[in-house]
């Protein structure tokens, strides 16, 4: 699959998720087979660029190419400036956020709030495309609410503005992440545009990935929450799409090894104090569905040091001993 002049390994994308898709997570998903991992959202407000959070989000040192950075904002000039700022720091693809449903984003008229103002959508897209010499992509939703679904119009605006790929989440802004994603609108958008379309929303298994690709005609799929604590989902989907056969679930010993490596990357990336805090949610996701994980997560969240965290993780996995069980998903996994 290609985005402009960039050739991807495959058509499997990691969705940008605030507080999740940092460099360690992106690298891990790419290692397990993702063709592209989009960064956490970077604010277009230049006053925030000097913050530690923004500097960290703009850190792509050693990252497997291509590097895609998502920007968010509601002012065309500021968005153009933000795009250029990130390209100068290594971004090879600029993704524009018009899909985030979070109130703190929409209250600034950014994210999916932009879908209410189609002329502004056009001005932002044109400003960004004209500002940089790298491909520009758009992440958006089907509309503001069920009575105002304008994905077809937004797709046409994007195509006319020079955007080179669309990622569409099958929910409106009002839906948030509730209910089930619908794929009819994604299919309609794909049929109406010459642009590559990536389908997003509630894709949690290889079978669902195949179904969504076939039903919508989309060129690729984007995985978000289903990859949290489960980065091997890209390996599973890639194998199933190419062979029609399902890989067995990972051994508990592999989960343990992947988690330990991920923790060390988080400590190195964030520093020990912040790294421990960031690691808590990842540990919870990796251990979800394993015997005794509820009590373990409660205890683990009280720990304050890297050493305590690592010791607790090792102790938890020791209970499985030599059985080397395969992970069983006995809880519902969200997309």
Q: What does the pLDDT look like over 56-89, one tens digit per residue?
A: 877 788 888 999 999 999 999 999 999 998 998 8
Question: Of residues 43 and 280, which shows the higher confidence score?
Answer: 280
CATH code for the part of the protein at 2-243: 3.20.20.70
DSSP state of 245: -
Query: What mean pLDDT comes out for the span 228-240?
Result: 97
Nearest of 120, 98, 225 to residue 166 by alpha carbon: 98
DSSP state of 180: -
Residue 91's contacts (CB-CB under 8 Å, 6 or more residues apart) are 60, 67, 68, 69, 83, 134
Q: Are strands 93-98 and 68-72 parallel, antiparallel or unpaired?
A: parallel
Tokens of 12: 């499997």
**Alpha carbon distance 14, 26 (integer Å):** 8
Give me the pLDDT at residue 105, please. 55
Query: What mean pLDDT comes out for the span 210-223?
Result: 98
Q: What does the pLDDT look like over 121-149, one tens digit per residue?
A: 999 999 999 999 999 999 999 998 888 89
Give me the pLDDT at residue 232, please. 97
Instruction: Name the CATH superfamily for 252-318.
Output: Putative flavin oxidoreducatase; domain 2 (1.10.1200.80)
Give me the pLDDT at residue 335, please. 32
Per domain, the residue ranges of the chain are 2-243, 252-318
Reading phi first (left if > 0) and then psi (alpha if -120 to 50, else beta), residue 90 is in left
Tokens of 316: 């938890």
Q: What does the pLDDT look like over 245-265, one tens digit per residue?
A: 999 988 888 999 999 999 999
Phi, psi (deg, nearest 5) at residue 14: -95, 125
Catalytic residue at 306?
no
Annotated catalytic residue: which of 100, 106, 175, 306?
Answer: 100
Query: What mean pLDDT comes out for the span 222-237?
Result: 97
User: What is the b/e burial string over 106-145, where b = at least 16 CB atoms within 10 angstroms of the residue's CB?
Assistant: beeebbbbbbbeeebbbbbbbbbbebbebbbbbbbbbbbe
Phi, psi (deg, nearest 5) at residue 137: -120, 165
Q: What does the pLDDT look like over 146-185, one tens digit per residue?
A: 888 999 999 999 999 999 999 999 999 788 888 899 999 9
Give me the pLDDT at residue 249, please. 87
Question: Of residues 320 and 46, which shows the higher confidence score?
Answer: 320
Phi, psi (deg, nearest 5) at residue 3: -125, 105
Question: Residue 333 above 60 pLDDT?
Answer: no
């Amino acid at each position: 699959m290609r985005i402009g002049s960039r050739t991807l390994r495959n058509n499997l994308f990691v969705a940008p998720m605030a507080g999740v898709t940092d460099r360690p997570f992106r690298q891990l998903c790419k290692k397990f087979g993702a063709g592209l991992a989009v960064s956490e959202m970077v604010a277009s407000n230049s006053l925030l660029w000097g913050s530690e959070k923004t500097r960290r989000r703009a850190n792509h040192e050693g990252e497997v190419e291509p590097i895609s950075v998502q920007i968010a904002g509601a002012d065309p000039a500021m968005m153009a400036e933000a795009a250029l700022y990130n390209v100068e720091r290594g971004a090879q693809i600029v993704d524009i956020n018009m899909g985030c449903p979070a109130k703190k984003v929409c209250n600034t008229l950014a994210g999916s709030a932009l879908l209410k103002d189609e002329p502004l959508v056009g001005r932002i897209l044109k400003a960004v495309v004209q500002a940089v010499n790298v491909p520009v992509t758009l992440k958006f939703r089907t509309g503001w609410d069920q009575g105002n679904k304008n994905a077809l119009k937004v797709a046409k605006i994007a195509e006319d503005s020079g955007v080179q790929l669309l990622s569409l989440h099958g929910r409106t802004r009002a839906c948030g992440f509730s209910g089930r994603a619908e794929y009819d609108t994604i299919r309609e958008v794909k049929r109406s545009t010459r642009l590559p379309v990536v389908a997003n929303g509630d894709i949690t298994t290889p079978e669902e990935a195949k179904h969504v690709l076939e039903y919508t005609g989309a060129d690729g799929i984007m995985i978000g929450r289903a990859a949290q604590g489960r980065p091997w989902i890209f390996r599973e989907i890639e194998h199933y799409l190419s062979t029609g056969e399902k890989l067995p679930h990972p051994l508990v010993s592999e989960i343990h090894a992947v988690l330990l490596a991920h923790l060390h990357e988080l400590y190195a990336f964030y520093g020990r104090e912040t790294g421990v805090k960031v690691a808590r949610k990842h540990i919870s996701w990796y251990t979800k569905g394993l015997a005794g994980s509820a009590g373990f997560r409660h205890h683990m969240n009280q720990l304050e040091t890297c050493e305590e965290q690592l010791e607790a993780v090792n102790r938890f996995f020791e209970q499985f001993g030599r059985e080397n069980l395969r992970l069983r998903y006995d809880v519902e996994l969200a997309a």
